Amino acid sequence: MQAMVWTGVALTLSGLAGLVWCIVLAMRAKRAGGSEAEVRARLQRVVVWNLGAMGLSALGLGAVVFGLFLK
């Protein structure tokens, strides 16, 4: 069960890194400027990555909790 906890920690940290990356992408998209439609399109792509990163973090946290319950 220890392997499950450490795998969950790795997934959670990967998801958090993805969230930081999404923040950087959103800031770049806003600073790049352009028309409102272009900025909105860029930000919509970031939302997709953001949801994936959140899901990965949630999956990792679930694995950590499950591994701790089985201990």
Each residue's pLDDT tens digit, 16-49: 999 999 999 999 999 998 889 999 999 999 999 9
For the chain, percent of residues with pLDDT exceeding 70? 100
Q: Tell me how far apart the alpha carbons of residues 50 and 55 are, in angstroms, rounded to a whole number.
A: 9
Structure pTM? 0.86
Contact 64, 8 (CB under 8 A): yes
- What residues make up the domain containing 11? 2-70
Q: Give 31: exposed, middle or buried? Use CB within 10 Å, 0-12, 13-18, 19+.
A: exposed
Q: What's the pLDDT band for 9 if we cut at 50, 70, 90? A: very high
| pLDDT given for residue 68 in this prediction | 94
Structurally, how many domains does the chain consist of?
Answer: 1
Output the pLDDT for position 1.
85
Could you give the CA distance from residue 41 to residue 22 in angstroms, rounded to a whole number? Answer: 14
